[in-house]
Structures are given as structure tokens and as C-alpha cells.
Amino acid sequence: MLSRPVLLLNQNYEPVSICSVKRAMVLLFLEKAEMVEKNSGYIHTINRTYPIPSVIRLLRRIRIPPRRILLNRKNLLIRDNYTCQYCGRKGGELTIDHVIPKHYGGKDVWENLVVACQACNHRIANRTPEQAGMKLIRQPKKPHYFFYLQKIVGVRDEHWKPYLFIKD
């Protein structure tokens, strides 16, 4: 119970990280944070009962250095939801495709890489989607850091959704 995840928000309600109930309770007792959302269940002491927090907010704003999301195959597959960005096929043998091929000056950046099935990648070959007569389902873009909290860590509690900017 004390190791359950709790969403930690900055003073301005921006998600900072995920901590344990134990760490959240320490922050609450030290009056460094306030409880925003309660979880089901209680922590019982000898003379008091405390609700288990689901979301807490720091009372002072902490400066967070800019966070980077690594550009790698795993994160590209997660960003594109394991779906070919040309035909919409899910799963199977997926490859990484350059929207603008390297020989045309395309770089290895978030905005130029998409997930493609082998058939579409073979069909597009060393051409741009326009040259191959193919269309992207969605324009690739660099994900925000909330991407990690949403996709990689996952939403562990329904109370977190309003704070993680999740679209259903």
C-alpha cells in the first residue's frame, strides 16, 4: 500500500514525477505539499486515520531542467502507437522510415521519422511520400515530456487524467 504510485505536481499543477505513497505522506506531513486528489483507502495510525493520496501538489514551485525524450526505435513505436503511418496497419513487422530520405538531406529527427510496415517502406523506397503517391496519416512531431508519463509510465489512476492532458 505504501508503494502505490502518486502523481506529484508542481505548484502550477504541471506534472513533475511519480512518487510512492510513503514519499507523498512525508511531503504532506512536512507541509511541503497538499493533497489534491484522494485515492480509495486509508492509512491508520494509533490515534488518526489519513486518506491515501492519489495526486499531490508542491506548495513551492521547483525549477525543473528541460527534459529530453530519447529518439530511439522504442519511443518512435510508442509515439506512433505501433501503427504504420502510411496504411494504418497495426503491429507486424514495423520499420522506421525517413519522410524526407537521407540522400535528399533528411535528418534523424522526430519530425522526419515515422513507423512504417515493411510493404509501405518498400513501396516508398528512397522517395518522399509525395513522389511515391502516398500520404501520411499524421504528421510526425516531437512529443512533449508528458509523453513519458502518459505512454511509458502509464495512467495508473483515473484521478491523474485531468493533470496529464490526456485525450480519450
Global model pTM greater than 0.85: no
Burial of 86 (0-12, 13-18, 19+ CB in 10 A): buried
Burial 122-136 (b: 16+ CB within 10 A, else e): eebeeeebeeeebee
Look at residue 140 and tell me if it is in a domain: no
Look at residue 55 and tell me if it is in a domain: yes
Look at residue 138 and tell me if it is in a domain: no
Please indicate, yes or no, whether residues 83 and 46 belong to a single structural domain of this protein.
no
User: What pLDDT is stored for residue 149 in this prediction?
Assistant: 64
Over residues 22-56, the pLDDT tens digits come to 999 999 999 999 999 998 899 999 999 999 999 99
Interatomic CA distance for residues 124 and 22, integer angstroms: 52
At 89, which CATH number?
A: 1.10.30.50
Please indicate, yes or no, whether residues 43 and 80 belong to a single structural domain of this protein.
no
Please indicate, yes or no, whether residues 77 and 122 belong to a single structural domain of this protein.
yes
Look at residue 12 and tell me if it is in a domain: yes
Closest CA to 99 of 134, 66, 51: 134
Beta bridge partners of 58: 33
Please indicate, yes or no, whether residues 34 and 77 belong to a single structural domain of this protein.
no
User: What pLDDT is stored for residue 150 in this prediction?
Assistant: 66
Look at residue 106 and tell me if it is in a domain: yes
Q: How many angstroms from the chain centroid is the CA of residue 43?
A: 30
Look at residue 139 and tell me if it is in a domain: no
Over residues 89-138, the pLDDT tens digits come to 998 899 999 999 999 999 999 999 999 999 999 999 889 999 999 999 99
Residue 160 corresponds to which cell in the numbers above? 491523474
Please indicate, yes or no, whether residues 19 and 53 belong to a single structural domain of this protein.
yes
Residue 143 corresponds to which cell in the numbers above? 512529443
Give me the number of domains the chain comprises. 2
Give me the domain span that covers residue 53. Answer: 5-65+145-164
- Span 133-152, average pLDDT: 81
